[in-house]
Amino acid sequence: MNHRLIKAQAVASAFIGCLLCSFVSAQAVYPTRPVTLVVPFPPGGFTDNVGRFVAQGLSAMWNSPVVVENKGGAGGNLGAAYAVKQPADGYTIFLANTATNVVNPLVYKKLEFDPDKDFDPVILVVKTANLITVSSSLPARTLAELVTLSKSKVGGVTYGFPGNGTTGHFTGALFNKAAGIGMVPVPYKGTTQVQADLIGGTLDVAVDNITTWAPLAQTGRVRAVAVTGAVRSSLLPDVPTVQESGYAGFEATSFAGIASIAGTPLAIIQKLNADIALVIKSPEFGKRFSGGEAGGGSPEDFKRHIAAERQKWGEVAKTISLNND
């Protein structure tokens, strides 16, 4: 056999061996220090709740801290822009969601990150519907009554959501179009203040994730009038969907998942995927997010889900002309 060919084969074998060693090593030793999970919203909302559950589950599994770092603002854009500047070594991961990874590129003219190029999808964690709730002081007990009130109230009905470009913002705008009304959008920096103002009566309507708002609706502190998913939620089984309320085909859901910084070693992505899948399958996850649909699947599955959502909301963005600076 030609000596050059033998040498080339030896080099190739050594190279493959090194890759395999690196793969096994990364799986065996990662993580060797605390991991930071960047959540691009303030504490207290749906995205934050998902992030903290995943962080707690991984911390217990690894016997090593996973620290949640909240970086709220600009509909999640500030947190995403911060995350992509961190090293792609697996020690900074990101709570990817419908706002930052799907909607914001459609509605903001300028972003300091590219959700497709700057993140590597790891795993879809959960999908949930939004909930349309009204203040207990508002004279509307059904979605139909809210539509009627919105058409007659002087100054219009206000609807709040946790940040421009979030699914609450997008869903409210979509319902405005479907119902032919003009609820006035009021962006907040997080869910907690939206809840305080709706309970206090200074805000008329809120559109946000059902898992965050269901407890308030269950205790009567706010009034739920419609679920934006295709089917009713087990959290509020007596609350009809928007479709049932007369708007055929209306559906709006949110997702939350984990992404790593683009360029993270494949072995680390696969370990994160496998370990987070175990967190999702835990009985505690089902109890905590009983109103949502548990995720899972491969990184490629999550990538396809993001692409499908982008296409869907992209068509909506064209019709409602949502654009931000």
Domain ranges for the chain = 32-128+253-320, 129-227
Report the distance separating Cα 101 and Cα 114, nearest Å.
Answer: 9
So what's the pLDDT on residue 24? 46
Q: pTM for the whole thing?
A: 0.75
Is the per-residue pLDDT at 319 higher than 70?
Answer: no
Burial class (CB in 10 A: 0-12, 13-18, 19+), 8: exposed
* 223-256: pLDDT as tens digits: 999 999 988 999 999 999 999 999 999 989 989 9
Residue 75, φ and ψ in degrees, nearest 5: 65, 25
Q: Output b/e per residue, 95-123; b: 16+ Cβ within 10 A.
A: bbbbbbbbbbbbbbeebebebeebbbbbb
Instruction: Please check whether residue 295 is in contact with residue 127, taking contact to mean a CB–CB distance below 8 angstroms.
Output: yes
Instruction: Please check whether residue 39 is in contact with residue 8, taking contact to mean a CB–CB distance below 8 angstroms.
Output: no
Q: For residues 89-101, give the mean pLDDT.
A: 96
Q: Is 110 helix (H, G, I), strand (E, B) or coil?
A: coil
Q: For residues 73-99, give the mean pLDDT.
A: 95
Assign domain 32-128+253-320 to a CATH class: alpha beta
So what's the pLDDT on residue 107? 82
Is the per-residue pLDDT at 22 higher than 60?
Answer: no
* 186-208: pLDDT as tens digits: 999 889 999 999 999 999 999 99
So what's the pLDDT on residue 204? 98
Q: Is 302 helix (H, G, I), strand (E, B) or coil?
A: helix
Tell me which fold the domain 129-227 belongs to. D-Maltodextrin-Binding Protein; domain 2 (3.40.190)
- Asked whether this chain's domains 32-128+253-320 and 129-227 adopt the same fold, the reply is yes
So what's the pLDDT on residue 124? 98
Residue 54, φ and ψ in degrees, nearest 5: -60, -45
